[in-house]
Every structure is written in structure tokens, then in C-alpha cells.
């Protein structure tokens, strides 16, 4: 039977995969995708803890996290589109200097 520890270990691993993605990848969209992986790992933690405490609060907080993730993805992608229009590149290293 999977215990709470199993779920926590899984979400820890997923969170670190997301973090590694943010550090290692050089493509803005993939960085945003890695952030989504991290948010999902957090969701899993919430639901697992909510289940183990027998309350519905875990699922409710997941509801809010999902909404915030959707809003953040929308605004993040709009920013990516704006950046792409100026430099024709999705590599974050091209945006390191303030000079336009």
C-alpha cells in the first residue's frame, strides 16, 4: 500500500526535476514548462497530506494553485511572445543586457 512517504518522495523527485529543468534548459518555453512541473509536484504534496489528515483542505488549496498556475502561464507566455518579437530568439541568454 502506498503510504504518505511514497507520495512525498515522488513529489520531491518531481519538484527537483522541475528545478533542474529551470536551471539547465536554455529555452524560455521549456523553462515555463519546468515551472509547471514544480507546481504539479506541490499539488501532489497537498493532496497527499490532505488525504492523510482526512480533510478536504488539501484539495481546495490545489484548486487555488491550479488557478494561479493558469494565470501565471497565460501572462508568462504573453511576455515570451513580446520578447520573441524583439529578438527573434527564445534563448534567455540573449536577453541579458539592458541595451535594446
CA distance 90 to 33: 14
- CA-to-CA separations, 26 to 12, 20, 21, 66, 71, in angstroms, rounded: 23, 12, 9, 25, 23
Q: Return the number of the residue (16 or 95) whose C-beta is nearest other proteins.
A: 16
C-alpha cell at 95: 536577453
Residues 69-98 that bind other proteins (CB under 8 A): 69-75, 77-82, 84-85, 89-91
Q: Which CB atom, from 54 or from 98, has the smaller least distance to other proteins? A: 54
Residue 14 C-beta: closest distance to other proteins, Å: 6
Q: Which of residues 44-63 bind other proteins (CB under 8 A)?
A: 44, 47-48, 50-60, 62-63
Nearest approach, Cβ of residue 98 and other proteins (Å): 18
Through-space distance between the first and last CA atoms of the chain, rounded to whole angstroms? 57
Taking a C-beta distance cutoff of 8 angstroms, is the pair 90, 29 a contact?
yes
Shortest Å, Cβ 65 to other proteins: 10
How many residues bind to other proteins according to rule CB under 8 A? 73
Amino acid at each position: 500500500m502506498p503510504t504518505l512517504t511514497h507520495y512525498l518522495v515522488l513529489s520531491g523527485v518531481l519538484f527537483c526535476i522541475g528545478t533542474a529543468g529551470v536551471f539547465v534548459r536554455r529555452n524560455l518555453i521549456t523553462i515555463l514548462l519546468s515551472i509547471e512541473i514544480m507546481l504539479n509536484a506541490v499539488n501532489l504534496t497537498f493532496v497527499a497530506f490532505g488525504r492523510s489528515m482526512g480533510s478536504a483542505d488539501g484539495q481546495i488549496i490545489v484548486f487555488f494553485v491550479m488557478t494561479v498556475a493558469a494565470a501565471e502561464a497565460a501572462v508568462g507566455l504573453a511576455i515570451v511572445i513580446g520578447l520573441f518579437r524583439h529578438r527573434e530568439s527564445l534563448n534567455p541568454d540573449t536577453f541579458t543586457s539592458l541595451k535594446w
